Amino acid sequence: MLFFTQCFGAVLDLIHLRFQHYKAKRVFSAAGQLVCVVNPTHSLKYAPTRCAAVQASTEQGILPPCHHHEAVHDPQLVPCTCPLFSCPWEGHLEVVVSHLRQTHRINILQGAEIVFLATDMHLPAPTDWIIMHSCLGHQFLLVLRKQEKYEGHPQFFATMMLIGTPSQANNFTYRLELNRNQRRLKWEATPRSILECVDSVLSDGDCLVLNTSLAQLFSDNGSLAIGIAITTSKVLSSEAEV
């Protein structure tokens, strides 16, 4: 009886979780937006990575770019950009997307506007939610991280990185939006290039930052829905018109 009771409870939890996901997808789909449910992954770091080493050098006044670290002999090679793992992979920028999809199983969603639905927000830090977004002929990497910047005070950090060069990144603007219970919060900025360390961008706070109480205001049963929209910059649009 105890065995069947526990199994029945687990089945009910699974049904409830799927119902919440279905409800969220139905609501956002009605608004014409694609929804991607993203499950959390506990970071297998934080072992020192090339990015971490460069960040430490930066704090000491040395400013080498992340992809020119002494471990990289070919300047055309870039290290793995996935912030979840201390991955030793390195390769050309053109094959970063295939590496992320095949090795790290990161999903990719296409569309001008999508909804990033992160589940299990209550899990302890550090935890990451990651997805790739294909839009306007380019691929972007959205990273949401729960991390304790100060001990005992976890925060959520979200940013959008272009899988391309810094000059290409300057041609776009991304918007992250949270909307629930008659509350709306927006963050709009120029995406950073994936050649810049994701860890450094999040540590610097040049991204959407939420404390735990604010994240709870916008969450629904432990899930946080973030609307994502990417547009070209006004400069690029005016040049196209000319």
> Is 4 a domain residue?
no
pLDDT given for residue 199 in this prediction: 86
> Is 49 a domain residue?
no
pLDDT given for residue 177 in this prediction: 96
> Is 160 a domain residue?
yes
pLDDT given for residue 85 in this prediction: 65
| CATH of residue 205 | 2.60.210.10
> Is 57 a domain residue?
no
pLDDT given for residue 9 in this prediction: 53
Which among 45-49, 103-107, 127-131, 146-150 has the top mean pLDDT? 127-131
pLDDT given for residue 69 in this prediction: 37
pLDDT given for residue 111 in this prediction: 82
- Which region holds residue 107: left if phi is over 0, alpha if psi is between -120 and 50, else beta? beta
Total domains in the fold of the chain: 1
Give 115-158 pLDDT, tens digit per residue: 999 999 999 998 999 999 999 999 999 999 999 988 888 999 99
Q: What are phi and psi of 137, to 5 degrees?
A: 80, 10
pLDDT given for residue 200 in this prediction: 86
> Is 223 a domain residue?
yes
**Does the pLDDT at position 74 exceed 90?**
no
Domain containing 179 equals 32-41+74-232
Residue of higher predicted confidence among 117 and 28: 117
pLDDT given for residue 31 in this prediction: 41
> Is 23 a domain residue?
no
> Is 10 a domain residue?
no
> Is 53 a domain residue?
no
Give 170-228 pLDDT, tens digit per residue: 999 999 999 998 899 999 999 999 888 888 888 888 999 999 999 999 999 999 999 99
Average pLDDT, the chain: 76
Would the pTM of this model clear 0.85, i.e. be above it?
A: no
